[in-house]
Structure 1
Amino acid sequence: MGRKITVAASTLNQWALDFEGNLDRILQSILEAKELGATFRTGPELEICGYSCEDHFYESDTFLHSWEVLAELLTAPLCKDILIDVGMPIMHKNVAYNCRVIFLNKKVLLIRPKLTLCDSGNYRESRWFTSWKKIRTVEDFYLPRMISTITGQKVVPIGDGVISTLDTCIGFEICEELWCASSSHIPLSLDGVEIICNGSGSHSELRKGYVMVDLVKNATMKCGGCYIYSNLRGCDGQRVYFDGVSCIALNGNMLSRAKQFALAEVEVVSATIDLEDIRSYRNMKRSNAHLASSSESYPRVFVDFSLSPEHDATLPFARPIVWDFLTPEEEIAQGPACWLWDYLRRSGQGGFFLPLSGGVDSSSTAVIVYSMCTLIMNSVHQGGGKVATNTDQKLLADLRRIVGDPEYVPKSSQDLCDRFLVTCYMGTENSSKETHKRAELLAQSIGSYHMSITIDRVVTTCIDIFSHVTGLKPKFAVNGGCPRQNLALQNIQARVRMVLSYLFAQLMLWTRGRPGGLLVLGSANVDESLRGYLTKYDCSSADINPIGGISKTDLKRFMIYAKDQFKIDILEEIIDAPPTAELEPLKEGKLAQTDEEDMGMTYEELSQFGRLRKIDSCGPFSMYCKLVHTWAGNLTPKQVADRVKHFFRCYAINRHKMTVLTPSYHAESYSPEDNRFDLRPFLYRANWSWQFRAIDKQVAFITSVKRQNADNSQNSQKKSSDTFGNLRTGVTV
């Protein structure tokens, strides 16, 4: 009797509405699964159409083309004699469902809709889909004629059912069902389902990776069984990046896993398991065995097919592996880099243009592009510079198309960076020699095509036009100007840089004899966006921003990591330099302006404000109530109140800037992206009168309590002192 089976999980870099490319990648994954000896293959969530179709799920075309792709899969000779599970949207009784479709040898066996939808953070699934409410129930689904012609079936089961083969039973979860409080894998396991697969679309976020691993391991540790987790990889048309990490677990142990970040569009992992290990593990858990005896049964769809070979004695079974988690610094080095590569090759552009100031933000953006070049080099030059796999051939073809050279093979990461990245230091009379030098040395280290220009003439011309019309000439504050004049003179420098960035981005490849244009990269970090510490339509306005979801604190840690990882010595000097916009006049040739002084708060404080505002859902009053204890050792209640009020005033008056925020790689759980990840208004009452009064009352109360406690303490000490004195003199009280 067969007892060993080989199963496969597919990691796919799908793209919303790219039906042709998505089909090719699904077929490639099936081919690789069969080559690994697998008899069952599962894939990511909505892999046929792409996860981020969003309002395209309202279009009948999206459903039609998904069925057409399924028809191609059903008729593909490659799909013979392997049980296949794919994800696609399906309309049933005029209701759209996010579904898994399980088929074998031109027969659709089961359509399994998603039971629990995700509507938090980056996700709005219930805007397009409905959850299946009929638990442990299936009903008839009438197949489209194009599918019936292939399968000979008119009706197939749809609903919360499982597949029963000759040797085992397979059940299904879809993404959120693993994360929610009422996961399906528990009742499935108690009903004897031995293999549970999860087609997922889970995005990358700093410090999040361990959560999924913990959920999968615990699912199989509590109930026993094999759990197959398949996740999307890549940027499928949105700010999020799906980080892959498909894996296979058995009885609480990880057996196999895919890479967290990689340029490969298809990665298949497999594991050979012994079904008897599941049965023994479950039988020994006596409490679960007693629960199983009374569990409700799932509808079973029987298929005359065995996942295990008739003679399996020679099959080696998988051993547990140790999961090595990436540090946040490694996640920053790899995640945004992969996101940039996806965006570049799918946008049809020829590279990136970056205004390089020599500060931490723009420098870290440049280093992330260099990290992307390094990842490409590592993929192309595998073993003596020879391209090894079909995936690498595809990557090399994309690379040659982008650089416009059909014979190009990069010699080094610096060589590639010279082709991909144009950097430009845009100095003014307010710029320091130090930042100019740091920008040049960094560009030399990474190999970017670098320029240094002075924009004073353009700025002066803009100011002269204003003066000609009004008869007035604005001045900086140090020269006697008012705050409005001072701010306007800073903003015009920043906005001129944005205009020049797009001019150079559109024409630089023309000057170098190459086709196409460049994508302008932004470099405003998540904390500056949250505070609104940026000029609207300045050089933070760009096509995409790889660091827009990363905090200043994490960026500095990344730079420390990158200095050693990529051997870029100048990064140490950049890290140590005080952050500055360099938009106000220098004082005796030295900086007179720093970011933290301008903002009235530190970057560390900004991170705390952001986490409390978004993650803990704090308004002004509740934020004060938390911070008054957190900062009690350093600040008085009044000082904490002043900082909280200052943050919320700045947040309110600058919130409108989020409506034009450059699309950014999502990395931080307190990202302020307007109407995407952060659904808050952009017009506020800036004085927060009611909320601030509540803070003032709380400050007064805490102050009075502290004063009363101090008085009581003094009285107590005096009384103790008097008592001690009386005892020494023999006087009784």
Structure 2
Amino acid sequence: MPNYGFVRVGAATPKLRVADPAYNISEILKIVKEADEKNVAVLVFPELSITGYTCADLFGQKLLLEKAVEFLGELLQQTETLDVLTIVGLPLMVEHKLFNCGVAVHRGRILGAVPKIHLPNYKEFYEKRWFTSGHVLGQSVSEINLLGQYVPCGRIMIKAEKPSFLLGMEICEDLWAVIPPSSYLALNGADIIANLSAGNELVSKADYRRQLILQQSARCMCGYIYASAGVYESTTDLVFGGHNMIAENGILLKESERFKRDSSLIITEIDVERLASERMLNKTYADNYEINAGSRNFVIVETEFLKEYDMEDIGLERPVAPYPFVPGNPATVEERCREIFNIQVAGLAKRLQHTNMKHVVLGISGGLDSTLALLVTAQTFDTLHLPAENIVAVTMPGFGTTDITYTNALDLMKALHVTIREIDIKPACLQHFKDIGHNVQDLDITYENVQARERTQILMDLANNIGGLVVGTGDLSELALGWATYNGDHMSMYSVNCSIPKTLVKFLVRWVADNIVNEQTAEVLQKILNTPISPELLPPDTSGKIAQKTEDLIGPYELHDFFLYYTVRFGMHPKKVLFLADCAFKEKYSREEIKKWLKVFYNRFFSQQFKRSCLPDGPKVGTVSLSPRGDWRMPSDAEVRLWLAELD
């Protein structure tokens, strides 16, 4: 039963009556049963959820404390047959001291209790009036008798199987500390942190809270479940909103609507395999583990069974973006695209300044890649206060050039006021065919690559002639698939698109059209965006249209970019990549189609590594790069059989 490393988790805010444990447990149980039906493995409730957070001096009443424990027993009894691991909050007496605790229960067993460490005692908060900090327990773990069970209380983590994860707990203000307990929990292996909270609402506090959770989940490379007290805690001067969030390594997976009058439950999955991959590759995590060797005194509490489920059957609650390289949040699209474009410009500008070059040469085909490269170059020259005519843009018609791409290329060059050169490569290619004894009617790989290498030779020689630098146009997707002619379009003196995947190229060109250039240039860019992707190395069809469409030959770039991201960024199993792609593209491609192109991806990715081993310099703009000097060092002769076998 494959779960692919996903743990389905939930954060809940139940309806509540302050100081009424019977009512509160009844509302908690409703949510627990709903969560169990929805295959939730871990469910987190707010701080002091059994009694209510705002009980104030009522926490000094023995009746309330005893009833809180009594109705914890009701929760145990009612969940004996349920699989969901439930974490609730209540006040607990330990060694004549009162602690604000999070308690984990599963199938009638209390797994452990974790006391709050940092007790806020400023402004509207005065918890030290009633509670003792968990610090007094020191580095030890006390064993307390709770409802007839001997329960560890203190520095504990919960280890589960099916699905597999290690969970730690902290409570509200703990997260606000200079060094939150979750930092130590993460260094000791906790991949999921549960935070039981009762943060009140103030203007802009929700934004700060959200950023704090995202930052901590990123810093700890963990999943973070935050459950907060709702509107029914509101009393005297305080208003609560029930702000629940689930984050994973800096990404907000799910967030509740605040100020709801009904109970609320948010559900999604945390990918613990993905987190493990991040921690394995990030050596800062390992270094911190060694540095903080003295803070490892945690007791691991194991569970015998949790909810075992097949993700293929139940599906994912968390969204899977079909275009992982493309900015997904509309609110940040412009900012993200501007940053990517500026990185490209800054990289090229430094290379030009360092080499003291005032001229560049680019081959312009009328396609997306060369278009983006020319746009970056034009912006770079503007930034360096160099004249646009120092950009020598060369169109080199060959046997497959169509009127539409030829016209696109010329229109773009004219719109950007660069120097235009047109060099017909057909005579030189025919001469070369004659020299090597190749039949011009044989439209094989030689026929195609001769044209690509002739174009590169022209660009290199022209750059020497004018004392300039050849700007490469190839993109990350082509490098991943080896869709480039070795020592042809594969080579340049600086490659501005080398870490821009094809899906992002298209997006960036559209963004430039909408935000940077004038209306005339934007119209040209729109025509280019509507043109099929092709190397144009084979003759057009009888109607003069592009006959050689890249995606008909190697598969959709949107799929290959998806495969590339999850294979290189997280080292995922092929079966998991297939599962995620099926989730992302199920409305567009069948599972068999996706599997077919995934096999193509692995075959080409392994067989074409030799082309990536000798790439020119170029700016890294994202988390995935195939530079042999930086992110990707792979043997050129590695076998692909393991990856393909998993898909059979």
Q: In which range does the TM-score fall when normalised by the shorter chain?
A: 0.3 to 0.5
So what's the TM-score if we normalise by structure 1? 0.42
So what's the TM-score if we normalise by structure 2? 0.47
